[in-house]
């Protein structure tokens, strides 16, 4: 049985290296009404991620949204599994990464790096704007376009009673021509994230940072690593 790791009030880690599979990004669950899964892992361990979702006390029927933060395989590979396992699930992604997802582009999704084939994905809700609100109780989730790593990269922000949680998958990069990365756009995105002054950062590969100063310094380190 894969265990969920509680991060704060209604946020759990349900996938990632050490928990499910080394190929997975860190997968987060926002338990609410309805519940939201943030990314889906690379695919091979999707069943274990679902076990962890249940361990967090979340019934698969209450999972309504799978927010795909961007098109890379370690974040979207499990999406097919969850669509089948959760009857009401809707896949959410930004317009900027839509083509890579619906055509299952092996380069743009990085599936070729992982030596796997990603079947084409149908996206139910396409984010067209700079920000978009997912109606979740008790705390709505605001999805914010934060391009740079890929054209359609997004983050999510949730204001809990006492802390602001930022889900920033792969805000560290990498930046590659093959991904259509844009380092100047990314710099602007990171400045926007700094201005959010989040209390908790749930990152895609580097883990969870708690405290405004820890969040700020992680983002600043990434900026300085890129020469900004
Ligand atoms: Zn990525």
Domains in the chain, please, with CATH?
A: 5-225 (3.60.15.10)
Q: Look at residue 222 in the predicted model and tell me its pLDDT.
A: 97
Res. 165 pLDDT band, cuts 50 70 90: very high
Rounded distance from Cα 228 to ligand 1 centre (Å): 21
Res. 136 pLDDT band, cuts 50 70 90: very high
Rounded distance from Cα 26 to ligand 1 centre (Å): 11
Sign of CA dihedral 22, 101, 147, 133: negative
Cα→Cα distances 135→49, 64, 142, Å: 23, 11, 9
Mean pLDDT to the nearest integer, 149-174? 96
Rounded distance from Cα 207 to ligand 1 centre (Å): 14
Rounded distance from Cα 149 to ligand 1 centre (Å): 7
- In degrees and rounded to multiples of 5, residue 195 shows phi and psi of -70, -15
What share of the chain in percent tops pLDDT 90? 96
Q: Is the pTM of this model over 0.75?
A: yes
Q: Residue 37's beta-bridge partner residues?
A: 29, 66
At residue 206, does pLDDT exceed 90? yes
Res. 87 pLDDT band, cuts 50 70 90: confident
At residue 158, does pLDDT exceed 90? yes
Res. 188 pLDDT band, cuts 50 70 90: very high
Q: Look at residue 1 in the predicted model and tell me its pLDDT.
A: 82
Rounded distance from Cα 110 to ligand 1 centre (Å): 8
In the chain, the N- to C-terminal Cα span, in Å, equals: 44
Rounded distance from Cα 203 to ligand 1 centre (Å): 11
Rounded distance from Cα 9 to ligand 1 centre (Å): 27
H/E/C letters for each residue in 57-120? CCCHHHEEEEECCCCCHHHHCCHHHHHHHCCCCEEEEEHHHHHHHHCCCCCCCCHHHHCCCCCC
pLDDT in tens, 12-56: 999 999 999 999 999 999 999 999 999 999 999 999 999 999 999
Rounded distance from Cα 107 to ligand 1 centre (Å): 12
Q: Look at residue 97 in the predicted model and tell me its pLDDT.
A: 98
Residue 15 DSSP code: E
Q: Look at residue 150 in the predicted model and tell me its pLDDT.
A: 98
Rounded distance from Cα 62 to ligand 1 centre (Å): 27
The mean of the pLDDT values for the chain is: 96
Res. 99 pLDDT band, cuts 50 70 90: very high
Rounded distance from Cα 185 to ligand 1 centre (Å): 15
Res. 217 pLDDT band, cuts 50 70 90: very high
Q: Look at residue 134 in the predicted model and tell me its pLDDT.
A: 96
Rounded distance from Cα 83 to ligand 1 centre (Å): 21
Rounded distance from Cα 161 to ligand 1 centre (Å): 30
Rounded distance from Cα 41 to ligand 1 centre (Å): 11
Rounded distance from Cα 7 to ligand 1 centre (Å): 22
């Amino acid at each position: 049985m894969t265990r969920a790791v509680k991060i704060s009030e209604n946020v759990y880690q349900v996938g990632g290296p050490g928990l499910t599979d080394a190929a997975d990004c860190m997968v987060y669950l926002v338990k609410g009404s309805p519940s939201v899964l943030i990314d889906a892992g690379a695919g091979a361990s999707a069943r274990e991620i679902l076990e962890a979702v249940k361990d967090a006390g979340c019934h698969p029927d209450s999972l309504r949204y799978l927010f795909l933060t961007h098109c890379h395989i370690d974040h979207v590979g499990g999406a097919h599994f969850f669509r089948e396992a959760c009857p009401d699930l809707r896949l959410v992604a930004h317009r900027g990464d839509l083509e890579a997802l619906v055509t299952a582009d092996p380069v743009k999704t990085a599936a070729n790096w992982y030596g796997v084939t990603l079947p084409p994905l149908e996206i139910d809700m396409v984010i067209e704007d700079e920000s978009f609100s997912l109606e979740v109780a008790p705390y709505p989730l605001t999805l914010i376009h934060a391009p740079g790593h890929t054209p359609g990269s997004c983050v999510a922000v949730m204001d809990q009673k006492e802390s602001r949680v930022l889900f920033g998958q792969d805000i560290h990069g990498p930046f590659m021509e093959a991904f259509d990365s844009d380092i100047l756009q990314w710099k602007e995105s990171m400045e926007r994230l700094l201005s959010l002054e989040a209390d908790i950062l749930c990152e895609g590969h580097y883990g969870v940072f708690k405290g405004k100063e820890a969040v700020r310094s992680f983002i600043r380190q990434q900026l300085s690593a890129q020469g900004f």
